[in-house]
Structure 1
């Protein structure tokens, strides 16, 4: 299913306790009152747009942080709990309007200043265990990335994956070959017209850019296909704009 930037539901609201960010939660807001540093006193939080400098401005009390808006005001912010073992909550400033440009800029507040933790494409799930799962739509599948919080370093970093799970089916309308590996284009199988294939996983292409796809044929053979072959020579992929 395609991921989209959540729609701004309200402009101002007050939270007694910060929610955990996950799919289906209320969307970003422009202002709120939340206890971020665990001292029992809520901080006034807001995101504004500085048109003159083309920047969004995050304010927590007297502390501020700025980021390039690139022509678009921020969609607002959400409160997340990246580490449930402490009393603190973090902020995510959401920018971008499409899957290609959306970002969640993460900040921690120590009671005096805002510290940038890094950015992720979006926040699909954060359960307080130091892990963020982030889904990004890739045309006919969701790429799920994992990010981990390094509490000592005070930053969030991506956990690299060799392969991304895809898990979709398609029907071959024009026969084409599957390559033995990502570096060896010799055919391991030739897909029969009308047969059903399973697209199991994706890997970033080393030279061409984009992705190569691990495909299982109807005869149980595994090989690699290009994105072009899948889009042009198959039908039934769950394509969305």
Structure 2
């Protein structure tokens, strides 16, 4: 399971528009519509043309289905293009953002999903992590014409589970001293997750609150195998 792409930004057309291959829309705020055309090629390559300006893109083998128009920051004069590329799995989808300054098409970056963009220059991206949504924040740096990820030390989780096999909670992600041992049949709250290792969700450290109110850390593999009731999917 993974989060759906929710276009809550203010688009140029109707909200929830399907991706298209061509459109006329004012991207640079000069009051004149710009002719936009997207031509998919082989192996995920595509050509994006705005007016007389052409840019070559690469979705790394994904199917390029088209683009939509979004307005990431309603406080400025520009609108953005979101190129949709679909992989075999939901987690393989990528969405490429472009801006047009009147002279050049500028790549703003790409994200796995555009979960939320309300027109305030902030983009929220969610990734399904097996039983919780990892939420990342990006901000639009208009001066640099790019999306910049805002680092987080921890990610909010906020789910509850029942202990089916007792397991220890340790003091920190770098210290193995045991703070508490969860009791079989008790409820625990999974409050937060550390920064996920690349490609290995079982090694994620989780901050857990025991039924006695003590906080400690446990690896994802142990947490999943020793509890029941986590909203596991995917």
Matched, 1:146 2:137: yes
Measured after TM superposition, the shift of residue 142 of structure 1 is 0.6
Q: How does 1:1-241 map to 2 (within 5 A)?
A: 2-4=2-4, 18=12, 25-51=16-42, 54-97=44-87, 98-204=89-195, 210=201, 211-241=204-234
Give 1:29 shift. Answer: 3.2
* Alpha-carbon offset, residue 228 of structure 1: 0.1
Q: Which runs of 4+ in 1 moved over 6 A?
A: none
Aligned-partner Cα distance in 2 for 1:183–1:158? 26
1:63 offset after TM fit, Å? Answer: 2.1
Q: Please list every run of 5 or more consecutive structure 1 residues that lacks an aligned counterpart in the other structure.
A: 7-16
SS at match of 2:91: coil
RMSD: 2.4
Give deviations 1:191-215, integer Å, cap 9, x for gaps: 1111111111100267995421111
In the TM superposition, what is the alpha-carbon distance from 1:93 to its structure 2 partner? 1.3
- TM-score by length of structure 1 reads 0.84
Q: Secondary structure at the match of 2:3?
A: coil
Give the TM-score normalised by the residue count of structure 2.
Answer: 0.87
Contact kept, 8 Å, 1:20 with 1:126, in 2: the verdict is no
Count, aligned residues:
227
Displacement of 1:27: 4.4
Q: Deviations over 1:2-46 (max 9, x none)?
A: 31458xxxxxxxxxx61598xxx3443333332211222222323
- Unaligned stretches of 5+ in structure 2? none
Kept in 1: contact 2:4–2:113 (CA 8 A): no
